[in-house]
Each structure stands twice: as structure tokens, then as C-alpha cells.
Amino acid sequence: MLPRGRPRALGAAALLLLLLLLGFLLFGGDLGCKRRKRGGRAGAPGCFPGPLMPRVPPDGRLRRAAALDGDPGAGPGDHNRSDCGPPPPRPSKCELLHVAIVCAGHNSSRDVITLVKSMLFYRKNPLHLHLVTDAVARNILEMLFHTWMVPAVRVSFYNADELKSQVSWIPNKHYSGLYGLMKLVLPSALPAELAHVIVLDTDVTFASDISELWALFAHFSDTQAIGLVENQSDWYLGNLWKNHRPWPALGRGFNTGVILLRLDRLRQAGWEQMWRLTARRELLTLPATSLADQDIFNAVIKEHPGLVQPLPCVWNVQLSDHTLAERCYSAASDLKVIHWNSPKKLQVKNKHVEFFRNFYLTFLEYDGNLLRRELFGCPSQPPPGAEQLQQALAQLDEEDPCFEFRQQQLTVHRVHVTFLPHEPPPPRPHDVTLVAQLSMDRLQMLEALCRHWPGPMSLALYMTDAEAQQFLRFIEASPVLAARQDVAYHVVYREGPLYPVNQLRNVALAQALTPYVFLSDIDFLPAYSLYDYLRASIEQLGLGSQRKAALVVPAFETLRYHFSFPHSKVELLALLDVGALYTFRYHEWPRGHAPTDYARWREAQAPYRVQWAADYEPYVVVPRDCPRYDPRFVGFGWNKVAHIVELDAQEYELLVLPEAFTIHLPHAPSLDISRFRSSPTYRDCLQALKDEFHQDLSRHHGAAALKYLPALQQPQSPARD
């Protein structure tokens, strides 16, 4: 949902200004460009004296390559000079800027989101993102951008697997693998009508409006087609160690973390043949690329220096272990793009790393909901579904006592599926995924759950951007959780006052990959043997196409925070008999699980059928394509009950399994439960949702829905927990 105000955005902006001020103090007030007596403007973009960016002649004009093969009169450092004159004109307010990024895998997808946040924070122009992705990254990013609904942002995807054959013949030692070579094929991979594009690595962070970078295309001569910042290390000078032999480069060479590409000129110049011939020739004497596409770009530029337009160093401040970037940023008026171009990323050794790290973390933890802002005065095609959403929101009455419920139902939450690396389970005909949802205050349940359930899990987590990073650190610090690659975590970003419990369940359910799902809650621990028992039961009962059923897993609870978990039904019954366990909600809400018929379960040796009854809400195993949860039920109350009603309306058998059980562990009540108990208005709104649910049920199922009417009209007890 688009935010109504921007107080948090202003707070984040103030934080950024504070960080820049700290940087100014850190560098001794020397972030400004030295004012020169002969006309150079202090602070002018492109004015960066020092060894990495030598001063240019007083008239501020760039030297241009006279031809494709370079200007024979140019000195050895001239390719690094930049303009200290007036900055090039910005693109028009509504000009569409094109950005290409290669992204593969789960971790790289998270990096892309931080990069995009930094771009969106400063941008004033519409953006078209061209994302070259593998199947994993596409699944993640397609869902994320679809649910993010950022105005004036278009996203196009290109299949990286279809491009692999064009670069797979190149040996590459770089940690980026094949994907680190794919920028070489962008001129042929991107649409033929696309003439200009900014190409970015996933590990860069913007500190300025990207339109300023786009404006540097105006500096290109008629023959220049590639804009790059000089490499800020001695790598390409060679002799860093014995037998160190880098690829050929012009001087220090150039870094390809930030590239301006004139695609039209590269195509006309025969780029594909050019880089292939150069790479094949160099690979006759060199075993592999060390820096992926960067080595090949530099080798081509060495042979054809007229192709390159050097860019000011601040557009790619490189933070590797042996970086010379301080020569750039200590003399610059401001920084534009920070590039974490070391495998160590934020752990890189740099005396100013804390300043840069804090700047990066600002965007890493920044609330992405605040970036759903319009570009005023610049009409653009709204994101899919945005117009209908705004119309629905406009029809809400803020004086309605149930306004919060109505608004929460319409909220479109950003969804980041498979937030962490995940290995899909091998296909098995009767496999079961445990599906649940949780928030930050239930993270402590995850380790115990992983010990009890050895099978795949799909978990939706309701968190802020900052909490998602805490969750990431929590997983990394746990040997139990870090070892489980079959648990898929899906972050649903928090927005609104009520807990969207059924929306979360639907996210986790939609991402399950096995034929069957166990619909559970995070505060339950299943029997140690339940995973194997469920798979065997599914096979024995002939579920699926042969039989439409929901398998009921009887639920129990303990009021003790420490107790010995039973390993069998016999042990559980013993604990039940001595009062260490109870049937679930026996004291507060017996109607919720009474139809399970626990007295019959004690003696049962085979599955038995039970009938639906009012307020029944068991935990069940169903096919993955079962009905989804009704998203109108937010906060506390009737969220599972409504789902069981729908299953019954669609004629699912309810079969209780005789050896299955799951146990609820005690915890503090949630905020929504507290509001339900204390607020008559809250309970009245829940009743209104139940009435609307029955109206929809009647539309879908006709007269068959009449059986549920008495249950829907029963008042909800405030004592329920």
C-alpha cells in the first residue's frame, strides 16, 4: 500500500545527512575539491585532483580519442583525466533511464534489493531495470517487484541460462563464476532498440541521483562507447607477487563495477567479434581470467583505447583490501557510488570502512515501503493493480470503527521469497512440507522445530527491513539452522497495525514444493516421527486423485516451559493422565478441537472420520493445491476456522490420524490477542468479517452454505487465547 506520509523517510534522510557530516569530520574537512585560482569550481562534479584523477588543463575540456584505435599523442595518464568544468546537463525530468544488472542466486538477489533501494532514494527519473537472472533470482525478484509496486519503475527479465553458452568457454577464476562474464554479451542480449544503458554490479551502493551518472553520456565523443572509472589498485600494473601476470590493460586499467554503454556504437563496431578475438588471443598465453569480464574489457580497451570515456573516480569508489580509493574520496566534494569489490565485502580492511559500512547499512535496513513515492509532474504507467488498489482505498471511510481491518485487508505487502539459500526437495510422490508463519518474537522456536521436523519447511516471516537483517544474523549464528537447506524462509515486510496472519500463511503455502502440506503454527512442535508417519499415511490412504481428504493431526498443549517431550503416543497419554499435557485449549476454547474426539483417539488403531462442527480449527495435512486462507481475517480470530469451513464446503473428508500428534508450547499472548480480549469494537469488527465471509460462501456454494450460518452467528468469546 502506498504510504500516506513520509515522516520515516525524512528521518532516514536526516540520518544520511548525519553520515555525510561525520564523513566530512572523519576526513578532516577535506572532502571538498580544492578551489583553484585558475577557474576551477570548488565542488564541481568531475573535479577530483590527485594521483588517481590528474588535473586537466585550465579550460576543462576532455581530450578525445581521435579514432577507434586511440590518439597517438595522448600521454600515459591522459585516459584518467576528467572535466572540472560545469557538469553536463541532467536528463529531462521524465526521461527514462535504463539500468542493466546481472544477478544469480539467493544472496545476489538480496544485494540487488539494497542497490535498488539506494537508487530509488535519490532518483528523480523513471527507471527501466534490465535484469539478467538465473531461475532462482527471477523467482525472487519478480515477486518482489510485483508486490513492491514502485511507481515509475519498469522491470524486464532476461534468461541468463540462455547466455551461458556464449561465455562458458572462458576459464574464470573469479568468485562470480560464469555470471561474472555476462556483461560482455549485453549488447546482443538487450533489445536492439536500446542505445544507452548503465551497467552495475550488485555490490554497489548509490550516494547520489543516478541521473547525474546518465548525464555523463554527454561527454562521449563520436567514437567512445564505454564509460569506466579507473581501477583503484595496482592490480594491472603487475608484480604484486612472484609470477603475478595480469591481463593487459591501459595503465592501471578500468573497473567494470559501473559501466556506461553506448550499445548502438558497440554493435556497429562489431563488439561481439572484437571481445571474442581478444579473449581467445590472450587465453593462448594466460590460463584464465582472474577478474572475470573486467579482464576482457581491459584487454579490448588496451587494443582500442578510443572506445573508452574515463569517468570521475567518485562514480566507482572501490573498497578492496589494497584499494587506493582514498586518493579519490579524500579530495572529492562528495561520493557518488560505493563499490564493495572485495570477496570480503563489508569485512574489507580499510581505515574508513566504518563510515562506508554505516552508509551501506542505512539502505540495507531502510524501509522499502517508503520508496513507493510518486515522481510528481512525470506521468508514468502505474504498476499492475495499483489503480484498482488506490480506488479501493479511496472508498474506505476513515470514520468506520473497522477502518484498520479494511485497510489491512487491502495492503499489498512486499514479499521476498526464499530470503536465504534453499535447496528444493527431490521429487517424492507423498512428500510433505510443514507450512507456518511467524514474527520476530517467535524466532526462538525455529531450532526446536528443525530438530522435530526433518522434512522440508516453508515459513513466512513478518518483519521490517531491519528485522530481516537481524533474522539473517540469527540464522548464520545457529549451527542447527544454518545446516538446514530445505527450509525456505519468505520475508513479508511489515506494514499496517494488524497482523496479516492469513496472507502470511498463503505466502508460505504458495511456495511449498511438495505434493502435500502440513498446515501448522510456529508455536507447535510435531512428534519426532510425524514427518515419516504422514508420508506413510498419505500413501496408505490413497490420497490425491483417488481421495479428497484432510488428515487431522491431534493437538495438545503444555503449560510448562520445560518438559520432557514424548517420543510416542504411549508416552503422550501418560503425560496426559498426570496433567503434564492437555488437549489443546481444553480450558479456554474446547469447541476449537472437540470434534477431533480425543477419547476415541486414545484407543484408535486406524484413521477415523469426523464431522465438521462450529468453530472447528484442527491442524491438517492437505494437498498443496488446497483452498487458500481467506485474507480478510487479519489480527486475531477465525482465521483457521474459516479455512476449515472452506475445506468442508469443498467436501474434503476430515480423517484423524491415530498415531499423529503435535504439542503447543507456552508463550506470552500476542498484541492482537490482547486487543481482542479488551476491545468490544475489535470483536464487533471480527463479527462483521464473519458475516461478509458467509455472504461470499453463499455466492460460491449456494444453499450448501446454510449449514454454516449458525456457527457464523455465534459470538466470539473474549476468553479465547
The three-state DSSP-derived secondary structure of 156-199 is EEEEHHHCHHHHCCCCECCCCHHHHHHHHHHHHHCCCCCCEEEE
Residue with the bigger pLDDT between 138 and 591: it is 138
CA-nearest of 527, 524, 545, 658 to 600 is 658
Residue type, 89: P
Instruction: Give the 3-state DSSP-derived string for 23-47, with helices as H, strands as E and coil as C.
Output: HHHHCCCCCCCCCCCCCCCCCCCCC
The full set of domain ranges for the chain reads 97-371, 415-712
| DSSP strands (E only) in 220-315 | 226-230, 254-262, 308-310
User: How distant is the alpha carbon of residue 446 from its chain centre?
Assistant: 21
Query: Is the pLDDT assigned to residue 479 strictly greater than 80?
Result: yes
Cβ pair 315, 329 in contact under 8 A: no
pLDDT for residue 53: 37
Contact (CB, 8 A) for 707 and 698: no
Residue 42 has pLDDT above 50, yes or no: no
* Higher pLDDT pick, 44 / 141: 141
On whether the CB atoms of residues 450 and 543 are closer than 8 A, the answer is no
Query: What's the DSSP call for residue 347?
Result: G
Which of the four pLDDT bands, split at 50, 70 and 90, describes residue 716? low
How close are the terminal C-alpha atoms of the chain, in Å? 30
Residue 204: per-residue pLDDT: 96
One-letter amino acid for residue 42 of the chain: A
357-414: per-residue pLDDT in tens? Answer: 899 999 999 999 999 988 877 877 777 777 788 777 778 778 888 888 888 888 899 9
CB distance 261 to 199 below 8 Å: yes
Which residues, at least 6 apart from 72, have a Cβ–Cβ distance to it below 8 Å? none
Residues 6+ apart with CB under 8 A from 241: none
Q: What confidence score (pLDDT) does residue 106 get?
A: 94
What's the whole-number mean pLDDT along residues 8-16? Answer: 48
**Whole-angstrom distance, CA of residue 311 vs CA of residue 297:** 15
Average of per-residue pLDDT across 416-436: 95
Q: At residue 49, does pLDDT exceed 70?
A: no
Phi first, then psi: what are they for 286, rounded to 5°?
Answer: -115, 140
Mean per-residue pLDDT for 505-525? 97
Helix (H) or strand (E) run with residue 393 in it: helix 386-394
Classify each residue of 106-141 as buried b or exposed e, where b means 16 or more C-beta atoms within 10 Å of its C-beta.
bebbbbbbbbbbbbbbebbbbbbbbbbbbebbbbbb
The CATH superfamily label for domain 415-712 reads Spore Coat Polysaccharide Biosynthesis Protein SpsA; Chain A (3.90.550.10)
Convert the pLDDT of each residue in 154-202 to its tens digit.
999 999 999 999 999 999 998 888 999 999 999 999 999 999 999 999 9
Cell numbers 468442508 correspond to 648
* Percentages of the chain per state (helix, strand, coil), in multiples of 5: 40, 15, 45
Judge whether 97-371 and 415-712 match in fold: yes
405 close to 685: Cβ distance less than 8 angstroms: yes
165 Cβ contact partners less than 8 Å away, ≥ 6 residues apart: none
Report long-range pairs for 669-675 (Cβ below 8 Å, ≥24 apart). Answer: 669/721, 670/499, 670/636, 671/499, 672/498, 672/499, 672/635, 672/636, 673/636, 673/721, 675/635, 675/636
The identity of residue 180, as a single letter, is: G
Helix (H) or strand (E) segment spanning residue 142: helix 135-148
Q: Which of 409, 402, 438 is nearest to 496 (CA)?
A: 409
Task: State whether CATH 3.90.550.10 applies to domain 97-371.
Answer: yes
Short-list 539, 512, 508, CA closest to 521? 508
Q: Name the residue type at position 458.
A: S
Read off the amino acid at residue 575.
L
Sign of CA dihedral 613, 614, 615, 621: positive
Does pLDDT of 446 surpass 60? yes
Task: Tell me the C-alpha distance between 356 and 346, whole Å.
Answer: 9
pLDDT band at 77 (very low <50, low <70, confident <90, very high): very low
pLDDT value of position 578? 94
How many whole angstroms separate alpha carbon 341 and alpha carbon 360? 13
Write b or e for each residue in 197-227: b if 16 or more Cβ atoms lie within 10 A of its Cβ, otherwise e.
bbbbbbbbbbbbbbbbbbbbbebbeebbbbb
Separation CA 312–CA 33 (nearest Å): 13
pLDDT confidence of residue 549? 95
264: cell is: 548502438
Its sign, for the CA torsion 56, 57, 61, 67, is negative
For residues 589 and 561, the answer to whether their CB atoms sit within 8 Å is: no
Confidence band, pLDDT 50/70/90 cuts, at residue 48 = very low
Beta strands in 508-615 (DSSP E): 516-519, 524-526, 549-553, 555-557, 582-583, 608-610
Predicted confidence (pLDDT) per residue in 88-109, tens digit: 778 888 999 999 999 999 999 9
Q: Which residue has the higher pLDDT, 703 or 720?
A: 703
What's residue 351's pLDDT?
A: 79
pTM as predicted: 0.86
How far is CA 171 from its chain centroid? 31
Nearest to 369 by CA among 121, 652, 572, 182: 121
Summarize pLDDT for 572-623 with one digit per residue, the tens. 999 999 999 999 988 778 889 999 999 999 999 999 999 999 999 999 999 9
Q: Answer whether 623's CB lies under 8 Å from 547's CB.
A: no
Q: What is the pLDDT, as a whole number, of residue 497?
A: 87
Reference 612, options 659, 646, 587, 661; nearest CA is 646
Averaged pLDDT for residues 17-37 = 43
